[in-house]
Each structure stands twice: as structure tokens, then as C-alpha cells.
């Protein structure tokens, strides 16, 4: 045993000081996002799935990793910053070449937001929308040649004699950015239906310069079967050119038994479309009923099963089609959630701001109130993380700006910047 000499006392005090300093450094290694949510920047991962709630069903997945994959945690310090709270029910975001963001608002107007959150006045000139229920001004995208032609394309719910339809329009953003000029409807997903739900409404340009569009099956029991009907435009992924005509190379273009604009079918309500930055494959997010929200790898001519198969149940608790979850000839989802994510808009990340997130998929969660980050390797989901879940917001859309940074909008009117600290 050491004797309490003056030298030993000095060494002991030095040891205590060094230990306290080490503890201080460790405690400073966790950062909170600038908007007050406690997002850790720990470099650890967890094998436990992020979903802890009981599933609505006991359906077994078709393969290992199809649901409740292992959780992960971003190791790079990042933050989610609220740029503005003054949007009015924003629905879609598109990055402009100069770094600003073009945003649709459900009631029928668009706005431009700067990278610091300054909002333009409402941009007018779009055709009237029917914004009852889930309708309104929906998703948008900009022309690949926007810098020279200023063309934008958007989806909206349009009132017609037979009800409402998901319509696609195009027009030029005026030089003063106050109006849309020469707005023209180029496509309508027939037939019309007198309902106010499941319009779909996302769109993007593929590598061939064609528009890829999502339509919903309009929700009700009476319209559900149209997701399987190749003569109907409901519950489909549609592929058209800039003039609204069926795109060359579509799988049913030469078939008299199908609409030539159909790319894939058997969809319920697709609120997210994205293209993988490396493989250029198309993916969608799809609303399930009670459980059974999906992520799908979209392939031409493929049937994705709704309402014949699903991993969800009716809101009443009853089984759908006697609980059938798989059938020969019907495509399985790459990934599904139960309970629901309520997936909205989504994007693959390809920027340099957060290299750790390269090629990860980010999906807005509505009723789940977070952004889901999925790590995908060889077309399989290998890990999942929840971002901004303490913000208590319904995340309607997530997009990457031309500055390589993620932005998100919420039903409550917020615009978030999600970037490295």
C-alpha cells in the first residue's frame, strides 16, 4: 500500500483531473440539432429494429429482411434546421438550378424558397384544383432543360363532370417568377371518380426525358379493382412524354388490351417516386391500408399486387382477400412496414454534404412523424434509421436541392434543411 507522501498526493490529484477532463470530452461528443431535437451523432449502430410497436398482423414476410430490418445510426454530426414555418400545407419540392426551392401548396399555389427560408409571394396561373380531402396541388418536377426553357410540370386533382381525376399540367415560370405562363393539362388519369382520396401525384423525369407519374386507385372498395385493370389509369405508374403521349418503349404500348401509357400496375397510392443515382432504377413508396406500407423497385409491365395481396388489413381490422400476402405472378415489396410509416415523398441522396448517406433512400413519414433513412445494398434494405422524430411533424416530401443538401416540408407548414454540422 502506498504511503501518503506529498508526491503521491500530487499524482493522485493529477489523475483525478485527467479523468474529469476525459469524461468532459466524451460528454461533448453528442450534438443536438439546431432546432432543438436531440439527434445523436454517435458512431454506433444497433441490431434492434427501430420499430418497437406491435404489428397489426402476424403475417410472415416473404424473405428475411423484408420488414423490421436492423437499426442503424448516422455517425456524422448533422442537424435539422427549420428555415420557415410559413408555408400553407406544402406538398412537393423541386430544386431549382440556382439552389432555391420550388414548392407546391395544396390549395393551388406555388412558392419559391431561398436556402435561408425566405419565401416568395404565391405564384399563380396554375389551373384550378379541387383541394377537398387528399386533393389539391400535388407533386412537381422541373424540366431537365429548365435553365433555358423554364418549364415545370405538376400533378393536381381536377374537377370534371364525372368527379375528379389526377391531372398532369405543364407551364413556364415567368421571368418575374410571379406567374406560370401557358399552363396546359397534358394528361388525365381516367376514369373520373366522385371521391377525395388516393390521387397519387408524384412525378419525375427518367433518363430518357420521359415523365414518370403515380396515380392512386381512389381508395374506395368500388375503385380498388381498377388497380388491376389495364384499361384504367388508376392505381398505376404512368410513363408519358412531355406532350402527354405514351412514352416509347412502354410495356403495353402495342397491346390493345391495355392503356399504352401504363408502366406498372397493382398500386394502391404512391406518394413517393425516386430514381437511384447510380443504377437509375425507379423506386416508389406506397401507402398500405392498416399496415403494409411498401417500398418497391419498379419494373416495366409488372403487377405489384394491390388489392389481391397485401401485408396490411382493413382499418376495421378485417383481413383483405382472406389475408393473402403472396401469389405467383405478383411482385413482392422490397420492404414493408407494420405498423405504418405512412410514406410520403422520397429521394435517394447523392450529394457531397453527407458522404455517409450516399445512395441511401429518405422517405417522409406522415402519421409516423419522422423521416425514414433506408440503407439499400444490391436492391435490399440492410438498415433503417429514424430522423427528426422528436419534431412531431407530418413529413410530406423530402428532396435534394441542387446544392447537394436534403430539404423536407411538413403538412404543418415547415421547411427543413437537413445537413452536416
**Catalytic residue IDs:** 198
Q: What are phi and psi of 267, to 5 degrees?
A: -105, 150
Distance of CA 221 to the CA centre of its chain: 26
Q: Which of 102, 239, 115, 234 is nearest to 171 (CA)?
A: 102
Q: What distance in Å separates the CA atoms of residue 404 and residue 144, rounded to the nearest whole number?
A: 17
241 and 247 Cβ atoms separated by less than 8 Å: yes
Q: Identify the CA nearest to 345 among candidates 366, 325, 315, 328.
A: 366
* Residues whose CB falls within 8 Å of the CB of residue 251, separated by 6 or more in sequence, listed in order: 262, 263, 300, 301
What is the chain's alpha carbon radius of gyration, rounded to the nearest angstrom? 24
- Residue among 365, 340, 369, 387 nearest 67 (CA): 340
The kind and range of the H/E element at 354 are: none
Structure letter (DSSP) for residue 353: S
Amino acid at each position: 500500500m502506498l504511503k501518503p507522501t506529498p508526491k503521491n498526493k500530487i499524482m493522485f490529484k493529477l489523475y483525478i483531473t485527467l479523468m474529469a477532463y476525459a469524461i468532459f470530452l466524451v460528454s461533448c461528443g453528442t450534438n443536438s440539432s439546431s432546432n432543438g431535437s436531440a439527434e445523436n451523432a454517435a458512431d454506433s449502430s444497433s441490431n434492434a429494429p427501430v420499430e418497437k410497436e406491435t404489428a397489426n398482423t402476424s403475417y410472415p414476410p416473404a424473405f428475411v429482411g423484408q420488414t423490421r430490418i436492423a437499426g442503424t445510426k448516422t455517425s456524422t454530426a448533422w442537424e435539422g434546421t427549420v428555415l420557415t414555418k410559413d408555408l400553407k400545407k406544402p406538398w412537393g419540392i423541386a430544386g431549382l438550378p440556382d439552389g432555391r426551392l420550388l414548392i407546391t401548396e395544396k390549395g393551388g399555389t406555388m412558392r419559391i424558397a431561398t436556402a435561408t427560408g425566405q419565401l416568395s409571394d404565391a405564384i399563380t396561373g396554375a389551373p384550378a384544383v379541387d383541394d377537398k380531402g387528399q386533393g389539391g396541388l400535388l407533386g412537381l418536377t422541373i424540366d431537365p432543360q429548365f435553365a433555358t426553357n423554364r418549364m415545370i410540370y405538376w400533378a393536381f386533382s381536377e374537377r370534371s363532370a364525372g368527379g375528379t381525376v389526377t391531372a398532369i399540367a405543364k407551364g413556364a415560370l415567368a421571368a418575374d417568377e410571379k406567374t406560370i405562363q401557358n399552363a396546359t393539362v397534358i394528361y388525365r388519369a381516367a376514369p373520373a371518380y366522385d371521391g377525395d382520396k388516393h390521387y397519387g401525384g408524384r412525378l419525375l423525369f427518367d433518363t430518357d426525358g420521359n415523365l414518370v407519374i403515380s396515380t392512386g386507385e381512389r381508395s374506395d372498395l368500388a375503385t380498388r379493382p381498377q388497380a388491376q385493370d389495364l384499361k384504367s389509369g388508376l392505381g398505376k405508374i404512368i410513363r408519358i412524354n412531355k406532350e402527354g403521349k405514351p412514352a416509347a418503349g412502354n410495356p403495353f404500348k402495342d397491346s390493345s388490351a391495355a392503356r399504352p401509357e401504363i408502366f406498372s400496375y397493382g398500386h394502391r397510392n404512391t406518394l413517393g417516386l425516386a430514381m437511384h443515382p447510380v443504377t437509375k432504377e425507379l423506386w416508389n413508396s406506397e401507402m398500405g391500408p392498416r399496415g403494409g406500407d411498401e417500398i418497391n423497385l419498379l419494373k416495366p409491365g409488372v403487377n405489384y399486387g394491390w388489392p389481391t395481396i397485401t401485408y396490411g388489413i382493413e382499418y376495421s381490422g378485417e383481413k383483405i382477400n382472406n389475408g393473402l400476402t403472396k401469389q405467383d405472378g405478383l411482385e413482392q415489396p422490397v420492404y414493408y412496414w407494420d405498423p405504418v410509416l405512412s410514406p410520403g415523398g422520397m429521394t435517394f441522396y447523392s450529394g457531397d454534404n453527407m458522404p455517409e448517406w450516399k445512395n441511401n433512400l429518405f422517405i417522409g413519414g406522415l402519421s409516423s412523424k419522422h423521416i425514414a433513412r433506408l440503407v439499400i445494398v444490391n436492391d435490399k434494405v440492410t438498415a433503417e434509421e429514424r430522423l427528426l422524430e422528436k419534431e412531431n411533424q407530418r413529413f410530406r416530401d423530402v428532396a435534394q436541392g441542387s446544392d447537394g443538401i436534403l430539404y423536407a416540408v411538413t403538412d404543418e407548414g415547415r421547411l427543413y434543411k437537413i445537413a452536416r454540422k
